[in-house]
Chain A
Amino acid sequence: AQSVTQLDSQVPVFEEAPVELRCNYSSSVSVYLFWYVQYPNQGLQLLLKYLSGSTLVKSINGFEAEFNKSQTSFHLRKPSVHISDTAEYFCAVSEVNAGNMLTFGGGTRLMVKP
């Protein structure tokens, strides 16, 4: 069975600073990887995903994540954050050829300060 670890439960950062939210996973088979964002009292929105191909994937709002197979990581980065990026971020994995069951990490609360 796979598992997902988000090493930081909270990440405070000043506006316009860079940020990295860490995600590591363990699985005995190949995986698909996802980052979701959750704003207060809302459901999850897909931020970006890695299914195959280029290991660097990008979202439309400036986030990017790189799949590193050797380190089993899928860290999320943004070079300059905005106040509106304040939210909870969840990393998730699903095993290839095993349906679409998702296993979520514990989440990281990104708090952007003015």
Chain B
Amino acid sequence: GAVVSQHPSRVICKSGTSVKIECRSLDFQATTMFWYRQFPKQSLMLMATSNEGSKATYEQGVEKDKFLINHASLTLSTLTVTSAHPEDSSFYICSASFGSKSREQYFGPGTRLTVT
């Protein structure tokens, strides 16, 4: 149980275009989803936390207008990288939990974004 999927697993886009990454909880309702960014050989950096039906809470230094997060349902959250640039190339990982009282996060397999 507690499976989280991400789509796509890899995406290559041209500079200036936008790309959407989906995160789905397959067998549970995720009231809270998290988006992380991971640079090569580094740890995960939390970008934002989203609760279903409300606006995402962004971490300091993360541009909310560039990284649009939508948590429209209890099983789906999307991250849209707008006007992507090569420096946005990274590994993006989402996780989901049952809510603030849940003690665990369940992680997706990640999405490798390459901006050319």
Name A's B-contacting residues (CB within 8 A).
32, 34, 36, 41-46, 49, 51, 90, 94, 99-102, 104-107, 109
Contact = CB atoms under 8 A, between A and B. Distances in A.
The bracket for how many chain B residues form the interface is: 20 to 34
A42 B109 contact: yes
Given A43-B6, A101-B46, A102-B34, 12 more contacts: A32-B103, A34-B104, A41-B110, A43-B107, A44-B93, A49-B103, A99-B32, A100-B32, A100-B97, A100-B103, A104-B44, A106-B43
A107 B104 contact: no
Contacts, number: 54
Contacts of A94: 103
Interface of A is mostly: strand
B109 A43 contact: yes
Given A90-B44, A104-B44, A105-B43, A46 B104 contact: yes
A2 B97 CA distance: 20
A101 B36 CA distance: 12
Interface in B41-86: 41-44, 46, 49
A41 B112 contact: yes
Given A90-B44, A100-B97, A106-B42, A45 B107 contact: yes
Contacts of B43: 90, 104-107
B74 to A, nearest CB: 16
Contacts of B91: 41
B71 to A, nearest CB: 15
A52 to B, nearest CB: 10
Contacts of B6: 43
B111 to A, nearest CB: 9
